[in-house]
Amino acid sequence: MDSIVVTGNGPLKGRVPIAGAKNACLALMPATLLSEEPLTLTNAPRLSDIRTMGALLQSLGAEVVPLQGGQVLALSSHDLTGHLAHYDIVRKMRASILVLGPLLARLGEAEVSLPGGCAIGARPVDLHLRALEALGAEMELREGYVHARAPAGGLRGGRIAFPFVSVGATENALMAATLARGTTVIENAAREPEIVDLARCLRTMGAQIAGEGTERIEVQGVERLSGATHKVVADRIELGTYMLAPAICGGEVECLGGGLELLPSFAEKLDEAGITVRETASGVAVSRGNGRIRAVDVATAPYPGFPTDLQAQMMALLCLADGVSVLEERIFENRFMHAPELMRMGARIDVQGGTATVTGVERLKGAPVMATDLRASVSLILAALAAQGETQVNRVYHLDRGYERVEEKLSGIGAKIERVAA
């Protein structure tokens, strides 16, 4: 099993290209199931999760052809051969549940295994099922599979009111509603940029959608959707991660692609910590001067709040802050598993339930550490960039699910980092 070896090497300087958003692409790909015509996605990230979703779509009879080294995905579902999303593929990634709504809307039935993925809490799919039931679907859980069937004549419009915000459930409901008869209203909808990106793509395919980016989305169902070409939005989590690299190490780095509108709360916290952030013609530039950063308190929340997917990386920064910071994780349970690994590097962290208290130290020291999930893996790499000596991050297969060519991108701005094959 590969590992990443990092040696602290001082301030960083240069430019980092930001890839297309993994979480957006994983919702856009199943949209091909809604139409017989081709869907082409540009600016696609080259990640293992994208390949897993491609394999799942192919198992249903869809065509998935990567072009231009994988940055363009040519998708076609003109001849679907089945409606069963098998456990062997679905278990690898939670986003697999996003084929449920499109299959149900297009074919009238679907069997989808309950998904797997990172070990960061239960993350139940009940909101997905309730949303589709509101459109008339009949649901049954049997032997680890969701068995879903649309009523005669297909799904029908309805009112979906989520008790709390769920990005995935909003995406499933949005896709299913495009082909449902009548009007669907989604209330307490997720507002993330990935939702807006999906709605824009579906609209290009002929869907009638209004209100994306707000808490209330209205969809007027249509009989069929056409093909389209759509550019995947920039990955705001990768953007935030690379913004933190010079914040931790010092120096100045320009992140090419994306803007601060993708990360409003995150940018505010960096400013509060004393990090200089500014938009440029090409993206976002981040710099840190001499001296320690200021401690700040962080609470994760749905967009436009502080992203849960940047909590681990932010903790790495605050390990070196001057003072005491409090991080509250309000989205997922069990998402402080990186804390003990950071403590192996000399961090002072006290975790009590969903709250972590971080007392900043002047320096971290390299150590062998283990990645427990996708975002934890990159938080350890960020900490290692500022640590004295060598850090070996093990179990980095998590990293490949969400970060494209991380060693190349970091070494390009002055980091001393390499992947070591097992």
C-alpha 149/C-alpha 362 separation (Å) is 59
CB-based contact 135:156 (threshold 8 Å): yes
CB-based contact 379:315 (threshold 8 Å): yes
Residue 97 half-sphere exposure toward CB, CA atoms < 13 A: 24
Residue 369's closest CA among 348, 345, 351?
345
% helix, strand, coil for the chain, step of 5: 35, 30, 35
Residue 13 counted as an annotated binding residue = no
| Beta strand extents in 243-345 (DSSP E only) | 251-256, 276-279, 283-288, 298-299, 324-328
Residue 231 counted as an annotated binding residue = no
Residue 123 counted as an annotated binding residue = yes
Residue 22 counted as an annotated binding residue = yes
Residues in the chain: 422
Q: Which residues of 1-35 are buried (b: 16+ CB within 10 A; e: fewer)?
A: eebbbbbbeeebebbbbbbbbbbbbbbbbbbbbbb
Residue 6, H or E segment: strand 3-7
Q: What are the tokens at 221?
A: 């169902």
Per-residue CA distances from 347 to 78, 210, 340 (Å): 54, 47, 9
C-alpha 335/C-alpha 168 separation (Å) is 18
Residue 23 counted as an annotated binding residue = yes
Residue 348 counted as an annotated binding residue = no
Give catalytic residues, as residue numbers: 118
Residue 335 counted as an annotated binding residue = no
Reduced to 3 states, what is the DSSP secondary structure of residue 100?
A: helix
Residue 393, H or E segment: strand 390-394
Residue 361 counted as an annotated binding residue = no
Residue 417 counted as an annotated binding residue = no
The structure tokens 């139409």 sit at 35
Q: Which residues of 99-135 are buried (b: 16+ CB within 10 A; e: fewer)?
A: bbbbbbbbbbebbbbbbebbebeebebebbbbbbebb
Residue 126 counted as an annotated binding residue = yes
C-alpha 266/C-alpha 40 separation (Å) is 31
Binding-site positions for UDP-N-acetyl-alpha-D-glucosamine read 94, 123-127, 309, 331
Binding-site positions read 22-23, 94, 123-127, 309, 331
